[in-house]
Amino acid sequence: MLRTSRAIAALIFAGALGLPSWARAQEPAAPPAAPPPTSPDRPTLELSLDETVKRALENNNDIAVERYNPELSEENIRLYRGYYDPLLGSTVSQLSQTSPVTSAFAGAQNAVDTKTTTYNFSAQQLLRTGGTARVDFTNNRGNTNSVFNTFNPSYNSGLNARLNQPFLRNFQIDSNRFQLKVAKRNREISDVQFQQTVTNTVASVKDLYYNLLYAIDNLGAQRKSLDLAQKLLDENQIRVKVGTMAPLDVVAAQSEVASREEGVIVAEAAVLDAEDAIKSAIFPKNDPSVWALRIVPTDRPTAERVTVDVEAATRKALDARTDIVAARKNLENADLNVKFASNQRLPDLSIIAAYGTNGVGGTIIQRDGFGGPITGTIPGGYSDALSSVFGRDFPTWTLGVNFSYPIFNRQADATAARAKITREQTQTSVRRLEMQVASEVRSAARAVETNYKRVESTRAARVLQEQRLDAEQKKFAAGMSTNFAVTQAQRDLALAEVLELQSIADYRKSIVNFDRVQVAGGGVAFAQSAASIATSAPITTSGTGSPVPNP
């Protein structure tokens, strides 16, 4: 009897489904679905993965900021090279002096008038051996009314060269050479850091692209889940009309539709958030027209298996990864610091060598006796002084040694000890970083394998949930299942679809991260174990609501 009643009910329900559209139009309309997150009037920007990466390389602000650091480092090198620029100097002056006569030997009756014109030139060069070389060329012209001057006007000229060269402290290395070498190495570190920023930005942009793909696919899954709930609600309303279902079941179906509409709203917001994240990475400035764009990804990456070689990847990372290279260059700076600090412990032993010649010229005044009247003149001038200078008529030379050494020398000893400790600390930090890099590469490789297994398992689960929902719907149509069972099957299918989409996105991002960790450090590691993924609860399934992705 029960089977006969169910068969009659099924025939009535099937006939009701066959009602013409004008008849169904008389039924109460279901609540409208939430509007899509994009409007047909919004401008659209279609982007492939390669185009997105290219735009990021050209416009990303992180790369633009980092691009200045190598230029700044290059200017630092030029700054320290400036220590070795030759220094040229000159002095040109005119002196006029009138002195009162205070003795009979002043050479004048009332006052002694002296006029002196000076024109001196010098050149100084800091040597890369730590020494200093200096050349001075001095000249002056004097004119006086004193009767005791033999030359009037007189010309005095001199050419002097001086060399100061240390042979212990500051010989192999000094402060200037130390700073220049550190600046050159810091320039190399800036290049490495720029490469690291580019690599991490590319990896981040790829992750954002896959996040957008997931958000769009998740929105499609949420809309599909809403459509299924809406279809069930329509069928239940027909059953209530034909008297085969209680009105309370329609209320439950309406509640399910409302819950799944909330899931669509959240998914639509996630799409907009993913679009904005990509826009922030690939556009250079804030522009309202940019935020109005709708980003449409054109690439649909597959979840094909990628084989990873952990040992080869680890060797590659330890040899050339940016943070490893930068750390080793910092270790070289620490070695240089030890060398400089050790050199400063040595005594200061410097060789001083100087050589010069002088000359004088001008008109020779001949007098009758000492201070007597002028009896004649012998013409002369500046050329006479130069002739004596370059003829080395009156040479002067100096050769000496300067030696100094502080007793106890505790300041230099402490500085050298600190430099050695810092060097050992830096070396230990490099070893720690090498262990971290090896661990990160291995973790990234495991994430690739784990996420591929997740893709396979979630794909199988989704297929089985589709079969289960189909079976429940057929049983429900035959009166052999309940409204709750169909709703639960729909909810489980939506969960399975979202999990599959999430696993595919995670798999693609884990491949990107595996490639990144071999080349650059400093990025956000994408290495999650299956347990952590399982406990992270990517969607909510409690209560009667539809699966909703967590932010």
Selected residue with higher pLDDT from 204 and 371? 204
pLDDT digits (tens, 9 = 90+) for 516-540: 999 988 764 333 333 333 333 333 3
Tokens 């008389």 -> residue: 26
Tokens 């002097």 -> residue: 160
pLDDT digits (tens, 9 = 90+) for 184-230: 999 999 999 999 999 999 999 999 999 998 898 889 888 888 888 88
pLDDT digits (tens, 9 = 90+) for 102-120: 766 666 677 878 899 999 9
Other residues' Cβ atoms within 10 Å of the Cβ of residue 426: 18
In 3D space, the residue among 427, 421, 494 whose CA is nearest the CA of residue 461 turns out to be 494
**Which pair of tokens denotes residue 66?**
């980092």
Give the pLDDT score at 314. Answer: 93
> What CA–CA distance (Å, rounded) separates 349 from 333?
27
- Give the torsion through C-alpha atoms of 186, 187, 192, 195, to 10 deg: 140
Selected residue with higher pLDDT from 122 and 536? 122
Beta bridge pairs of residue 164: 132, 352
Q: What is the mean pLDDT of the chain?
A: 83
Give the pLDDT score at 371. Answer: 62
In 3D space, the residue among 282, 208, 283 whose CA is nearest the CA of residue 512 turns out to be 208
- Reported as a pLDDT band with limits 50, 70 and 90, residue 130 is very high
Query: 95-99, 263-267, 319-323 — which is least confidently predicted?
Result: 95-99
Give the pLDDT score at 125. Answer: 95
> What CA–CA distance (Å, rounded) separates 94 from 141?
10
- What amino acid occupies position 505? A
Q: What percent of the chain has pLDDT over 90?
A: 50
Give the pLDDT score at 463. Answer: 93
**Which pair of tokens denotes residue 551?**
């932010």
- Reported as a pLDDT band with limits 50, 70 and 90, residue 402 is very high
Give the pLDDT score at 30. Answer: 41
**Which pair of tokens denotes residue 513?**
């991260």
Residue 486 to residues 20, 230, 254, 256, 478: CA-CA distances in angstroms? 26, 12, 14, 11, 13
- What amino acid occupies position 205? V
Using the predicted structure, report yes or no on whether residue 416 has a pLDDT greater than 80.
Answer: yes
Mean pLDDT of 245-261: 82
Mean pLDDT of 225-237: 84
Give the pLDDT score at 303. Answer: 81
Give the pLDDT score at 526. Answer: 36
pTM: 0.74
| Strand-strand pairing, 548-549 and 394-404 | unpaired
**Which pair of tokens denotes residue 296?**
């449409």
CA dihedral (160, 166, 171, 177) positive or negative: negative
> What CA–CA distance (Å, rounded) separates 275 from 545?
26
Give the pLDDT score at 36. Answer: 47
Using the predicted structure, report yes or no on whether residue 15 has a pLDDT greater than 60.
Answer: no
Give the pLDDT score at 245. Answer: 76
pLDDT digits (tens, 9 = 90+) for 418-445: 999 999 999 999 999 999 999 999 999 9
- Extract the runs of DSSP E, i.e. beta strands, from 48-131: 87-100, 111-126
Give the pLDDT score at 487. Answer: 78
Q: Which residue segments constitute the domains of the chain, with CATH numbers given?
A: 2-71+183-297+310-333+423-544 (1.20.1600.10), 89-178+347-407 (no CATH)
Give the pLDDT score at 42. Answer: 78
Selected residue with higher pLDDT from 410 and 244? 410
Give the pLDDT score at 39. Answer: 57
User: Which residues make Cβ contacts (< 8 Å) with residue 381, sequence separation at least 6?
Assistant: 155, 361, 362, 363
pLDDT digits (tens, 9 = 90+) for 26-52: 333 444 443 444 455 678 889 999 999
Q: Radius of gyration over alpha carbons of the chain, in Å?
A: 45
Q: What percent of the chain has pLDDT over 70?
A: 85
pLDDT digits (tens, 9 = 90+) for 52-72: 999 999 998 989 999 999 999
pLDDT digits (tens, 9 = 90+) for 444-469: 999 999 999 999 999 999 999 889 88
Give the pLDDT score at 24. Answer: 33
Give the pLDDT score at 488. Answer: 84
- Reported as a pLDDT band with limits 50, 70 and 90, residue 17 is very low
Mean pLDDT of 129-156: 88
